[in-house]
Structure 1
């Protein structure tokens, strides 16, 4: 397989896969379960842990540069064929479900611009119109990736830069609106009625969730131009994401009191932007959410197709899925992944499930 992805493309792949829909709901999610003091402790613990994980991946790519594909090959090398297969199978299934959830939330966000009390066009992303639109997006990205992972990764780099614009605007405005007295209100969370360490435990479920995708560069390491870039990209992306998450979470608590923030509708970042810049703020965040999720979806499509391909090249999956097209894209694996996503979308429509169902 041609090794064409450079440091910037690999970093964007990891960062985009982590910065999806979750960051836009992070202020409310955190405020609902923890006080400012617990959040500071929770982020400190998670930050140290996730940086250790990033350094571990950095060291693994240097100690064993011959192992491509990370999640599958590390498990196979360390624990044998069965564990390697289970790792690849489980990761692929999770990636498929993640992709379905991204498509659902894109059209749920679009309903902000189209739906009225009298007209339910896209709803919660599970109407027939939403499923039709999601199917178009699904197959557009499918044929984009078939043109080559390098092409898709280049577009993902642009999408990653685009998604950072609304996040950067939010952080800048929140920093200007930040009030220390507001941040210090009920600093230990007495109103929550639970100890600080219990609050810290509650934050950990969220802080770890938002770093899903940290393994992105390792998964596509076979396509890296230089193996040393894989670990560096992971570390750069983790530091960038951690900075964004910290600023979004902590600055929000200085804009409105924790109790008010905890009761906001998600994406709560939209409500905060309305508070800071008026009704246009909601539109900015809704548009940012759509761009962010589309970028994350592209990243996860690349990763979801890569795992069955690598497993097939090591004979853990049927050899059929080791096929590539003339652009060196894992075509058979990509067809398997996206047909599975399409079937899942139809099931979403038939059952009326939404993003919350997929998340849990």
Structure 2
């Protein structure tokens, strides 16, 4: 979860809301994501035979086709997220090397492409090697973030903090301020599902649930702290105008130029570590779907190091194509962030809805009535929260996400034809019609300029 998002939080929040709105937003996001973390904990314990998290839960709850939509949506979110990572790295380096611009120049795309394929060669060597490197990276990225919070507290200006409280006259109603931060918070928390995606490697399924909840609580405290202390260093309009990574600009204002350098180094280290994790998880989900015959057989291929080499290659190729597309985007940074968040909301919603389904039907019920009441409340809140996020994120990104889900349908049909099996069940025809209609609307919107990315 601690990847690139935390380093962009000060400007992302300051452009949308003041201190009061930020506190409410983190309370809503933290509470909603905690319910979702409890969902993954519940499913890990109650359904230990379901591997690969979001895909397996959607498939078990709503059928093969919906499971495939969840798997490919999750995979596509990782593709967009990895594009965001490379844009963020080159944008950060652009402060020193002007040819890289804001990560959206030809030179930046070339540098990102070299890094992309270098990581492909590293990851194909195996999961254990990548995980070992990630442990070192975790320490190297968290320490500078903690130092940022401590230093900002030392120089916090109460008068500046007070002026930033409401967000100013132009900020709009508090509810609208909070709503516009939702996709930012979703992006920050992507990874909460990570333990469940890699559950087949866990020594104990109970560890999956504990890792999910404890990880969420630790990360929430980090994200909220970084956001709130920034309001005490600079006025909101100045924070909002900072070059990304905005954490660097805030720390530079607090302690001098070395603060920006520290944050930039921490950012690059953090992104490279998170990139490993995201790429592996996305490849794992496609592998699971292919092994269940919901995707074409070629995606089942693994190499001698147990790495899903076919899905890893496909992911890398798609990220490369998306890097080229960013050259024509109006705002590559914000677009890749919003698309990443929007794509993952459907898998999150389906996981929560499945947990609600097995709780309402009392499937595999264990425990007392009080326990059942808690599970009903928790799964219902998680489902409502993910629905709220789909609405808050905006219709345009949901329609663009459905274009990706239409692509997933093509892969699903391919897999079904290979198995000579029935393509759609009656209920799945309805889901297919909705996805297709939304995808057509998304294509028309992009072609006519009604949707701009």
1:246 positional shift:
1.0
Which residue, 136, 145, 149 being the options, matches 1:167? 145
Distance 2:52 2:76 in 1: 16
Which residue, 200, 203, 208 being the options, matches 1:225? 203
Greater RCO structure (CA 8 Å; 6+ sep): 1
Which residue, 314, 333, 336 being the options, matches 2:314? 336
Q: 2:4: which partner in 1?
A: 21
With over 3 angstroms needed to count, the CA separation of the structure-2 counterparts of 1:345 and 1:83, relative to structure 1, is: same
Q: 2:76: which partner in 1?
A: 93
Q: 1:275: which partner in 2?
A: 253
| 1:67 lines up with 2:50 in the alignment | yes
Q: How does 1:1-360 map to 2 (within 5 A)?
A: 18-115=1-98, 120=99, 122-185=100-163, 187-192=165-170, 194-348=172-326, 354-360=332-338
Distance 2:241 2:111 in 1: 31
On the 8 A contact 1:112/1:286 being kept in 2, the answer is no
| Stretches of structure 1 lacking an aligned partner (at least 5 in a row) | 1-17
On the 8 A contact 1:110/1:290 being kept in 2, the answer is no
Q: 2:440: which partner in 1?
A: none
On the 8 A contact 2:91/2:244 being kept in 1, the answer is no
**Which is worse superposed, 321-330 or 251-260?**
251-260
On the 8 A contact 2:171/2:177 being kept in 1, the answer is no
SS in 2 for 1:113: coil
**Which is worse superposed, 105-114 or 234-243?**
105-114
Distance 1:28 1:353 in 2: 15
On the 8 A contact 1:321/1:333 being kept in 2, the answer is yes
Distance 1:194 1:348 in 2: 31
With over 3 angstroms needed to count, the CA separation of the structure-2 counterparts of 1:170 and 1:350, relative to structure 1, is: same
With over 3 angstroms needed to count, the CA separation of the structure-2 counterparts of 1:298 and 1:185, relative to structure 1, is: same
SS in 2 for 1:112: coil
SS in 2 for 1:57: helix
1:172 positional shift:
1.2
Distance 2:12 2:281 in 1: 27
TM-score norm. by structure 2 comes to 0.70
Q: 2:370: which partner in 1?
A: none
On the 8 A contact 2:193/2:212 being kept in 1, the answer is yes
SS in 2 for 1:246: helix
On the 8 A contact 2:152/2:233 being kept in 1, the answer is yes
TM-score norm. by structure 1 comes to 0.87
1:330 positional shift:
1.2
SS in 1 for 2:169: helix
Distance 2:278 2:327 in 1: 22
Distance 2:215 2:334 in 1: 27
Q: How many residues align?
A: 338
Distance 2:333 2:172 in 1: 29
1:83 positional shift:
0.5
With over 3 angstroms needed to count, the CA separation of the structure-2 counterparts of 1:152 and 1:296, relative to structure 1, is: same
CA shift digits 1:103-125 (9 cap, x unpaired): 2221221222222xxxx2x2233
With over 3 angstroms needed to count, the CA separation of the structure-2 counterparts of 1:198 and 1:339, relative to structure 1, is: closer
